[in-house]
Amino acid sequence: MDKHRKYRYIMAFALLAACVLFFFILNICMGSVEISLSEMMRVWKGQSGTETLRRILWDIRMPRAAAVLILGGALALAGYLLQTFFHNPIAGPFVLGISSGAKMTVALVMIFLMGKTIRVTSADMIAAAFAGALLSMGFVLLLSRRVKGMSMLVVCGVIIGYICSAVTELVVTFADDADIINLHNWSRGSFSGMTWENVEVMTAVVAMTVLFVFWIAKPLGAYQMGDVYAANVGVNLKLLRVCIVIFSSMLSACIVAFAGPVSFVGIAVPHLVKKLFGTAEPLLMIPACFLGGSTFCLFCDLLARTMLAPTELSISTVTAIFGAPVVLWIMVRKKVDKHH
Partner 1 sequence: MKQYYFTTQKMCVGYENKPLIKDVEITLEKGEILTLIGPNGAGKSTVLKSVAGQLALLGGTVYLGESAVSEMRGNELAKKMSVVFTQKVRAELKTCRDVAATGRYPYTGRFGVLSKDDWRIVDEVMELTHVTDIAGQNFEKVSDGQKQRVMLARALCQEPEIIVLDEPTSYLDIRYKLAFLSILKEMRQKRNLTVIMSLHELELAKIISDKILCLKGEYVERYGTPEKIFETDFIRRLYGMENDGFMQDERFCAYIRQLSTI
**Is 37 near partner 1 (CB under 8 A)?**
no
Q: How far is CA 99 from the centre of its chain?
A: 9
Q: How many residues bind partner 1 (CB under 8 A)?
A: 24
Q: Quote the least distance from Cβ 311 to partner 1, whole Å.
A: 41
Instruction: Compare residues 192 and 224 and give the one whose CB is closer to partner 1.
Output: 224
Of 75 and 222, nearer to partner 1 (C-beta) is 222
Of the ranges 131-139, 142-150, 225-233, 288-296, which one interacts with partner 1 (CB under 8 A)?
225-233
User: In the 8-state DSSP scheme, what is residue 280?
Assistant: -
218 near partner 1 (CB under 8 A): yes
Residues contacting residue 103 through CB under 8 Å, at least 6 positions apart: 129, 132, 164, 165, 168, 187, 256, 260, 261
DSSP E strands in 84-136: the ranges are none
Least distance in angstroms from the C-beta of 127 to partner 1: 31
Question: In terms of CB distance, is 86 or 139 closer to partner 1?
Answer: 86
Are the C-beta atoms of residues 123 and 244 closer than 8 Å to each other?
Answer: no
Q: With binding defined as CB under 8 A, does residue 55 bind partner 1?
A: no
CB of 179 to partner 1, least distance (A): 45
CB 180 within 8 A of CB 172: yes
Q: What helix, strand, coil percent values describe the chain, rounded to 5?
A: 80, 0, 20
**CA 331, 332, 333 angle in degrees (round to 5)?**
90
The nearer residue to partner 1, 119 or 146, going by C-beta atoms, is 146
Residue 222 sits in the site that holds partner 1 (CB under 8 A): yes
CB of 137: closest distance to partner 1 in angstroms? 22
Instruction: Write the DSSP symbol of residue 57.
Output: I
Interface residue with partner 1 among 234, 310, 311, 336 (CB under 8 A) is 234
Contact status: 6 vs partner 1 (CB under 8 A) = no
Question: Residues 45, 56: contact at Cβ < 8 Å?
Answer: no
Identify which of residues 184 and 218 has a Cβ nearer to partner 1 in the complex.
Answer: 218
Per-residue HEC secondary structure of 191-222 comes to CCCCCHHHHHHHHHHHHHHHHHHHHCHHHHHH
Applying CB under 8 A, the span of 109-117, 170-178, 275-283, 320-328 interacting with partner 1 comes to: 275-283
Neighbours of 333 (CB within 10 A): 12
Smaller CB distance to partner 1: residue 253 or 272? 272
Site for partner 1 in 62-91 (CB under 8 A): 87
Q: Give the nearest distance from C-beta 250 to partner 1 in angstroms.
A: 21
Q: Fill in the DSSP letter of residue 50.
A: -
Options 100-108, 125-133, 218-226, 316-324: segment touching partner 1 (CB under 8 A): 218-226
Backbone phi and psi for residue 226, each to the nearest 5 degrees, phi listed first: 115, 160
The residue among 118 and 283 lying less far from partner 1, judged by its C-beta, is 283
20 close to 297: Cβ distance less than 8 angstroms: no
DSSP state of 33: S
Nearer to partner 1, 3 or 116 (CB): 3
Q: Which of the ranges 28-36, 155-163, 171-179, 215-223 carries the binding residues for partner 1, by CB under 8 A?
A: 215-223
Residues near partner 1 (CB under 8 A): 1, 87, 214, 217-218, 221-222, 224-229, 231-236, 274, 278-280, 283
